[in-house]
Amino acid sequence: MTAAPFSARTESVDLHAPPLDLPRSIALFLDLDGTLAPIMPRPDDVGPDPARARLLARLRETLEDRVAVVSGRSLPDLDHILGRGVPAIGAVHGLVRRSADGAVTTLEPHAGLEDARRILGELAHCDRGLLFEDKGLSVALHYRNAPSAAEAVIEAAERLSQATGLILQLGDMVAELRTPGADKGAALTAFLRETPFVGALPVFVGDDLTDEDGFEAAQRLGGFGVLVGQPRPTTARYRLSDTRDVSRWLQALTAPVTA
C-alpha cells in the first residue's frame, strides 16, 4: 500500500520563526538531513562535524538530556555522523529506537524487503545517477542526481509496495520501502514515556514529509513542530528557512537565561 495521507495542514508561507522564550521543560526531537545537516548529493557525503557536536552537547546540558535525533538513517550511520554524542535516537523513521539509557528496540525485517532490495538495486545499476541505500529494515532509491528518473522510480516503488505489503515512504528526492511499524511520531511518543523525557513539552524540528508524523504527534501531546525549508502545507506551527537558521535558533536556546 502507499503511504497514508497526512491530516489537514495549513500553508506555511506565513509561519513565523519559533520563539526563544520557551520553558526549560521542553524536549527537542531533531531530524538530521535538511535540519541539523545540509542535504548533500549522496548520503555518505554527510559526516561528523565538530561544531554540530558541540551544539548538541550544549543542548543536552541545557535541557538535562531531553534531546533526541529522529531520522530516516540507520542507527550505525547516525552514531557515526553524531560521534555517538546523542544517546536517544529514533532511526529508520522510528523502526529502530535507542532510549536515553541505551536500550535498543527494533523489528524483524519484512519478508518483502528481499524482492525490493533486488529490484531497486537493479534499477540503480541502470542509471549512474540513482543511488540505492539499504538500511536493513528498509531500502531506498535516491534520484536527487537523476531527477528525470523520478516518475520511473516512484512507479516501481508503488508497484513493489502493492506486491509486498511494504510501506512506501516518499521523501526529498527519494522513494523508500520500509517494514510496516512505527513512524517518527510513534518514536516521539515512546520517548515521552521514558526518563528523561517524561512530562516534557515536545518540539519536533524537521524538513521532510516524513517529519509530518513528528509534527502531528508533538502537537497532539501539547507541543509543536518546526518546519525547515521552503513553505509548503504542514502541521508545523513555526518555520525556519534552512539549516543555518536551525543552528542559530538552537544556539540561542542554549544561551544563559538573564534576569
Q: Is 211 annotated as catalytic? A: no
The answer to whether domain 22-106+182-253 and domain 113-178 are alike in fold is: no
| 113-178 CATH fold | Alpha-Beta Plaits (3.30.70)
More confident residue, 32 or 2: 32
Helix ranges restricted to H, the chain: 50-62, 75-82, 113-126, 150-164, 184-191, 212-220, 243-253
| Sequence-ordered list of residues with C-beta below 8 angstroms from that of 36, at least 6 positions apart, any chain | 30, 52, 56, 69, 243, 246, 247
Topology of the domain comprising 22-106+182-253: Rossmann fold (3.40.50)
Higher per-residue pLDDT: 126 or 248: 248
Q: Which three cell numbers stand for residue 184?
A: 517518527
Percent of the residues in the chain that have a pLDDT greater than 90, as a whole number: 87
Q: Where are the domains of the chain?
A: 22-106+182-253, 113-178
For residue 221, pLDDT over 90 is answered with yes
For 145-174, what is the mean pLDDT? 93
| Residue-wise pLDDT tens digits, 31-49 | 999 999 999 988 889 999 9
Q: Which of 31, 33, 77, 208 is catalytic?
A: 31
